[in-house]
Amino acid sequence: MKEVLTPEVVSQIIKLIAALAIAVFSFAVRKAAKSFAKKYDVSAEFEEMNNLEDYIKRVVFSCVQSTNQTFVDSLKKNGKFDSEKQQEAFELTYNAVYTIVEGSVKTLLMTDDLKAVQTYLTTLIEETVKMCKETIENNVVPPINIASLMDSQPTFTTVDTVPTTDVYEFSVEPMNEEDITD
């Protein structure tokens, strides 16, 4: 029997037993976690929190876009967008977001602490502004040259929605002679 149980064989048996113990333990933990989630309906709460966070992010994005269109763009065109106006734009956006999502943020963060809510919204707004600015600077959505479109006589434009944002991609196809009707 000693000839069969060499140190290499014993080592392999120990590794096999350890692997089996880990597999049994992880199986038991997964079963316990599923049981817990089912009993306390944790998955529904998790889904609700994800939906709430997505809602807040959509509101922040919309408010940032609105501030850019109604306030920032005209100031930039006139060369009057300085640090004071930047702070004013932030405050306009923050107040709009806070008015819309105050209760939702408190639910998401599970706190009534105003400082935590302010920090969360401030960070989210700054992140969204940066993302929008990088999108414009990197020409993710290139500007459309109307003159070149008129020269190529486009027939139609197709619109494909990008899944996680409200940005649209456009493609233009040239017109065929058959498509022209009087």
Domain limits, the chain: 40-137, 146-177
User: How high is the mean pLDDT of the chain?
Assistant: 75
Axis crossing angle, helix 42-67 with helix 83-109, rounded to the nearest 10: 160
Number of other residues whose CB lies within 10 A of the CB of residue 124: 21
Q: Strand (E) positions, 54-119?
A: none
Of the listed ranges 37-46, 114-123, 143-152, the least confidently predicted one is: 143-152
Average pLDDT for residues 151-167, to the nearest whole number? 45
- Please say if the pLDDT value at position 143 is more than 90: no
Instruction: Quote the Cα angle for 21-22-25, to 5°.
Output: 85
Q: Residues 6 or more apart from 125 whose CB is under 8 A from it?
A: 60, 63, 64, 90, 93, 94, 97
- Please say if the pLDDT value at position 53 is more than 80: yes
Tokens of 68: 């850019």
Q: Rounded to whole angstroms, how far apart are CA atoms 12 and 137?
A: 59
Q: Residues 6 or more apart from 56 whose CB is under 8 A from it?
A: 101, 104, 105, 108, 124
Tokens of 80: 């009057």
Instruction: Quote the Cα angle for 36-42-45, to 5°.
Output: 170
pLDDT category, 91, cuts 50, 70, 90? very high
CB 170 within 8 A of CB 158: yes
HSE, CB side, 13 Å, CA atoms: give it for residue 78.
8
pLDDT category, 139, cuts 50, 70, 90? low
Q: Rounded to whole angstroms, how far apart are CA atoms 118 and 125?
A: 10
At 1 the pLDDT is 58
Q: How many residues does the chain have?
A: 182
pLDDT category, 37, cuts 50, 70, 90? low
Single pTM value for the model: 0.53
Q: Residues 6 or more apart from 15 whose CB is under 8 A from it?
A: none
Average pLDDT for residues 155-169, to the nearest whole number? 45
Amino acid at 91: E
At 126 the pLDDT is 92
At 87 the pLDDT is 93
